[in-house]
Amino acid sequence: MSGIVYIITNPSFDKWVKIGSTEQTIEKRLAGLNRQAVPYSFVPYATYEVPNPKVVEKEIQGLIDDFNPALRAIEPREGGRPRKREFYLMSPQGAYAMFERVARMRGDNHKLKRIATTPEQEAEERLAEEVITRSRRDNFSFGMVGILPGAKLVYTGSIKRTCKVVDDRRVEYQRERGYLSGFAERFLIEEGRSAGSNGVNGFLHFSYEGRLLSDIRKEIAAEE
C-alpha cells in the first residue's frame, strides 16, 4: 500500500517536529490531528511518497535514533515499557536532511517534496512565535546585534553556506526561509556532526563580517 512519510510542525511544541506516516493524503492526516486539543494547528513541512510508508518511516526514525537517541520523545510508563513517540527535538530543516539522506539511498529523491506554507499558516506561526519568545528571558534577534535585512551571515563549519537575513528573526537559504538555529542544525547534520539534544544556538555557528554572532551579542550585552 502506498502512502507518505511526513514532517509536520506545530508552534505549540517549540523545537519539536513530528515524523510519521499515513496512507491518507497529508490534508486528511492534518485534519485528524488538528481536531485534537492543541493551541495551534499542525503544519506540513515535507512529504515523501513511497510504496511502503510504515517501513520507510521506521527507517528514518531508526536513522535519527542511531544518530542521537536523546532526540526522540520517550514517555515513561509505570509498570511497562517506555512509549516511543513520533516527536523529535530537532528543527524541520534537520529532519529534512535525514529524509534527503534516505531518499538518496533509495534513489527516489523526486518523491520528496518540501511544502510551502500558506499565508494563514505563516500568520499563525508568527503569532505563536511571538507568544513563545515573550516567555524567553534571553530572546536573540538580529536587530539586537545591529544586523539589518539583506545582510549575509556565513556558516562557520567545514562546508561553505551563506544565509541572507530577511527580517528581524528569519534568514533565507536557497529560497527557503527559516530560523538561524534550524539551518545551523541542518548544516551540522550535513557535516556528520551531532546537533545535541538541547537544540542548536545559531548565533554560535554563524558569523557576520568576520565576527561570530554570539561574540557580537556578548559585547552588546556588556554595554547594556
All 3 cell numbers of residue 197? 539534544
All 3 cell numbers of residue 170? 528569519
Judge whether residue 142 has pLDDT over 90: no
Contact assessment for residue 206 and residue 165, using Cβ atoms and an 8 Å cutoff: no
Q: What is the pTM of this model?
A: 0.59
Q: Nearest 10 degrees: CA dihedral of 134, 181, 208, 144? A: 0
- Nearest to residue 177, comparing CAs of 165, 189, 190, 168? 165
Judge whether residue 132 has pLDDT over 70: no
All 3 cell numbers of residue 94? 534537520
Residue-wise pLDDT tens digits, 58-67: 999 998 888 8
Residue-wise pLDDT tens digits, 77-106: 777 788 888 999 888 888 998 899 899 999
CA angle in degrees (0–180, nearest 5) for 162-168-163: 5
Residue-wise pLDDT tens digits, 3-29: 999 999 988 887 789 999 999 999 999
Instruction: Encode 123-153: b = buried (16+ Cβ within 10 Å), e = exposed.
Output: ebbeebeeeeeeeeeeebebebbebeeeeeb
- CA–CA separation, 157 and 173 (whole Å): 16
Domain ranges of the chain: 3-130, 137-223
